[in-house]
Chain A
Amino acid sequence: MTTTEIVDMITVVIDGFEVSVPKGTLVIRAAEQLGIQIPRFCDHPLLDPVGACRQCLVDIEINGRAFPKPQASCTIPVEPGMIVKTQLTSQVADKAQKGVMELLLINHPLDCPVCDKGGECPLQNQAMSNGQGQTRFEGVKRRFEKPINISSQVLLDRERCVLCARCTRFSDQIASDPFITLNERGALQQVGIYEKQPFKSYFSGNTVQICPVGALTGASYRFRARPFDLVSTPSACEHCASGCDMRTDVRRGKTLRRLAGDDASVNEEWNCDKGRWAFKYVTAIDRLTHPLVRNDAGDLVQASWPEALSAAAKGLKENRSAVLVGGRATYEDAYGYSKFARIALGTNDIDFRSRISSDEEREFLAARVVGSTTTYRDIDRADHVLLVGFEPEEESPIVFLRINKQFRKRALKVTAVASKLSIGVDKLKGQFVKVAPGQEAAAIAAQTLSAQSIILVGERASESAGALTAVAALADSTGAKIAWIPRRAGERGAIEAGAIGNLLPGGRPVADAAARVDIAALWGISVLPSQIGRSSDEIFAAVNSGAIGALLVGGVDPLDGINSQAALSALDTAFVVCLEIAPSEVTMRADVVLPVAAITEKSGSFLNWEGRARSFDAAVADSLNRSDLRILSMIAEEMSAPLKLSTVSAAAKEIASLGPWEGARASMKAVNAEKAPTLSGDQFILNSWRRLLDLGTLQKGEENLAGTARQTIAVISPKRAQAMGVADGDLLKISSALGSVTLSALVEDIHDDAVWAPRNSQGSQLLINLGVGHGAVVSVVKI
Chain B
Amino acid sequence: MSNIEAFKNNELDLKKVEFEQVDQPGSVGLLGHAKGFWVTFSTIFKKPETVEYPEVKAPTQERFHGRHQLNRHPDGLEKCIGCELCAWACPADAIYVEGADNTEEHRMSPGERYGKVYQINYLRCVFCGLCIEACPTRALTMTNEYELADDSREKLIFEKDDLLGPLRAGMLMPPHPMYPDMDDKNYYKGDVTESHPSQEIK
Contacts and interface: CB of A to CB of B under 8 A. Distances in A.
Interface of A: 111, 113-114, 118-119, 146-147, 222-226, 228-229
A120 to B, nearest CB: 12
Contact of A223 (B82, B85, B136): B82
Contacts of A114: 81-83, 99, 111-113
A113 B136 contact: yes
Contacts, number: 34
Contacts of B98: 224-225
Contacts of B100: 223
Q: Which 4 pairs show the lowest CB-CB distances between chains A and B? A: A113-B83, A223-B99, A114-B113, A113-B136
Interface in B31-45: none
Contacts of A119: 88
Contacts of B88: 119, 226, 228
Given A146-B112, A223-B113, A113 B101 contact: no
Contacts of B136: 113
B84 interface: yes
Contacts of A226: 84, 87-88
A111 B188 CA distance: 12
A124 to B, nearest CB: 13
A111 B183 CA distance: 13
Interface string B92-125: 0000001111000000000111000000000000
A229 B112 contact: no
A410 B149 CA distance: 72
B85 A222 contact: no
A63 to B, nearest CB: 50
A71 B111 CA distance: 40
Interface residues of B, number: 16
B85 A113 contact: yes
Nearest to B113: A114
A222 to B, nearest CB: 6
Contacts of B85: 113
B81 A229 contact: no
B199 to A, nearest CB: 22
Nearest to B93: A228
Nearest to B82: A223
A111 B99 CA distance: 14
Contacts of B101: 222-223
B83 A118 contact: yes
Nearest to B83: A113
Contact of B84 (A147, A222, A229): A229
Nearest to A252: B96
Interface string B120-146: 000000000000000011000000000
Contacts of A118: 83
A111 B184 CA distance: 11
A773 B37 CA distance: 106
Interface in B57-108: 81-85, 87-88, 98-101
A113 B81 contact: yes
A263 to B, nearest CB: 31
Nearest to A143: B183
B31 to A, nearest CB: 65
Given A114-B113, A223-B82, 4 more contacts: A111-B111, A114-B82, A114-B99, A229-B84
A673 B100 CA distance: 58
A454 B87 CA distance: 54
Contacts of B112: 114, 146-147, 223
A125 to B, nearest CB: 15
A225 B98 CA distance: 7
A89 to B, nearest CB: 35
5 contacts: A114-B83, A114-B112, A146-B112, A223-B101, A224-B98
A480 B137 CA distance: 65
Nearest to B115: A223
A226 B112 CA distance: 16
Nearest to A227: B88
B170 to A, nearest CB: 26
A196 B169 CA distance: 48
Contacts of B84: 225-226, 229
Nearest to A251: B98
Among B81, B82, B112, residue most surrounded by chain A Cβ atoms (within 10 Å):
B112
A111 B88 CA distance: 17
Contacts of B83: 113-114, 118
Contacts of A147: 112
Contacts of A223: 82, 99-101, 112-113
A228 B99 CA distance: 14
Contacts of A111: 111
A283 to B, nearest CB: 15
Interface string B139-182: 00000000000000000000000000000000000000000000
Nearest to B136: A113
B115 to A, nearest CB: 10
Contacts of A225: 84, 98
A147 B82 CA distance: 17
Contacts of A222: 101
A225 B116 CA distance: 12
- Indicate the member of B83, B98, B136 with the most A CB atoms within 10 Å: B83
A32 to B, nearest CB: 29
A111 B82 CA distance: 12
A227 to B, nearest CB: 9
A116 to B, nearest CB: 9
B84 to A, nearest CB: 5
**Max chain A C-beta neighbours (<10 A), residue from B81, B101, B113, B137:** B113
A229 B88 CA distance: 9
A228 to B, nearest CB: 6
A224 B137 CA distance: 19
Contacts of A229: 84, 87
A147 B88 CA distance: 25
A142 to B, nearest CB: 14
A755 B183 CA distance: 54
Nearest to B116: A223
Contacts of B99: 114, 223-224
A770 B86 CA distance: 57
Nearest to A229: B84
Nearest to A157: B112
A228 B137 CA distance: 21
Nearest to A119: B88
A775 B66 CA distance: 75
Contacts of B81: 113-114
A201 B99 CA distance: 28
A145 to B, nearest CB: 11
A376 to B, nearest CB: 39
A222 B88 CA distance: 18
A229 B83 CA distance: 12
A42 B17 CA distance: 73
A113 B81 CA distance: 8
B120 to A, nearest CB: 16
A194 B101 CA distance: 27
B134 to A, nearest CB: 9
B32 to A, nearest CB: 60
Contacts of B111: 111, 114
A224 B116 CA distance: 10
Contacts of A113: 81, 83, 85, 136-137
A226 B90 CA distance: 14
A225 B81 CA distance: 13
A225 B23 CA distance: 66
A146 B111 CA distance: 10
B158 to A, nearest CB: 18
B186 to A, nearest CB: 13
A228 B89 CA distance: 11
A147 B112 CA distance: 9
Nearest to B84: A226
A86 B38 CA distance: 77
B147 to A, nearest CB: 30
B190 to A, nearest CB: 17
A228 B87 CA distance: 10
Contacts of A146: 112
Nearest to A118: B83
